[in-house]
Amino acid sequence: MNFTKMHGLGNDFIVIAGEQELPGNVADLAVRLCNRFFGIGADGLVYILPSEQADFKMRIINSDGTEAEQCGNAIRCVSKYVYDNGLTDQQEITVETLGAGVQKVQLSVQEGKVATVRVNMGQPILQGLQVPTTVNQEQVVDYPLEVDGHQFRVTAVSMGNPHCVIYVEDAVNFDLAVWGPKLEVHPMFPRKTNVEFATVQNRTFTDMRVWERGAGPTLACGTGACATLVASVMNGLADREGTVSLKGGDLFIEWDEADNHVYMTGPAEEVFKGKLDI
């Protein structure tokens, strides 16, 4: 199997192209290959497949073998891969995702290679039951949630996958390992959830750290950055565009008032190519 190791701000993936569909043992394969000691090492396994609706289809299998509906860092990696490897010569492409439908992507090219990627991430889903949560409200904003005797105030947003945004005094040094896994599987989230801990520094700059559903702590989460900006606007803390700073670097996020779509701009990098006997 030929593969390419890529990352978006340190959120890393094993990218595989050329297959027509997912292999039957893809969950076991992801667990094996993503293992950082006995495999290649990654947060997820990403397949670039043919699509009947778009230029390409993206499927993402987390390091624990579960499938993610969408991933902002992965779609940037996929977009860079298809252009840099000659699968397209277009600087505007479409990518089909499992949970967020077909997404439009704009590529910024420098010296024949993709430098940054701007993705139309679609409209955020805010209705409580559709995120999904167990809260039947039009919006779940600053909602009390108790975990092990500690009360958090959460805002729920879906970007094609569920997110729970929580504001803390110091997101950079927050103890993800203690609270992330407990919040991920809280009964309020029937399909589990990604958890973002955020500190708004000013109306255009937010620090965020993330515990990803199915992957644990990662250096960056594109959909999480989008959800964080949306949640910050809903809580009256931020403007509709700004920088979300993650452990692996910064993403520029825009929530367009005219079309209600969220746009994410950031880099993607190739680390190495390899071949594995499976």
Query: Catalytic residue numbers?
Result: 71, 221
- Alpha-carbon distance of 220 to 249, in angstroms, equals 7
On whether the CB atoms of residues 4 and 33 are closer than 8 A, the answer is no
**222 annotated as ligand-binding:** yes
86 is in an annotated binding site: no
Residue 62 annotated as binding? yes
Give dist(CA 229, CA 206) in Å, integer.
Answer: 8
3-state DSSP call for residue 167? strand
CB 74 within 8 A of CB 221: no
Instruction: Specify the pairing of strand 56-62 against strand 269-275.
Output: unpaired
**CA distance readout (Å), 75 to 30, 157, 227, 262:** 18, 19, 16, 14
Helices (H) and strands (E) in the chain, counts: 4, 18
- The helix (run of H) or strand (run of E) holding residue 182 is helix 176-184
Alpha-carbon distance of 168 to 51, in angstroms, equals 41
Q: How far apart are CA 165 and CA 154, in angstroms?
A: 6
Please check if 161 is assigned to a binding site: yes
212 is in an annotated binding site: yes
**Was 25 annotated as part of a binding site?**
no
Residue 73 among known ligand-binding residues: yes
Using DSSP bridges, classify how beta strands 194-202 and 162-167 pair: parallel, antiparallel or unpaired. parallel
Residue 9: CA count within 13 A, CB half-sphere:
29
Is 265 annotated as ligand-binding?
no
Which residues make Cβ contacts (< 8 Å) with residue 55, sequence separation at least 6? 82, 88, 90, 93, 94, 95
Annotated binding site: 11, 62, 72-73, 161, 194, 212-213, 222-223
Annotated binding site for substrate: 11, 62, 72-73, 161, 194, 212-213, 222-223
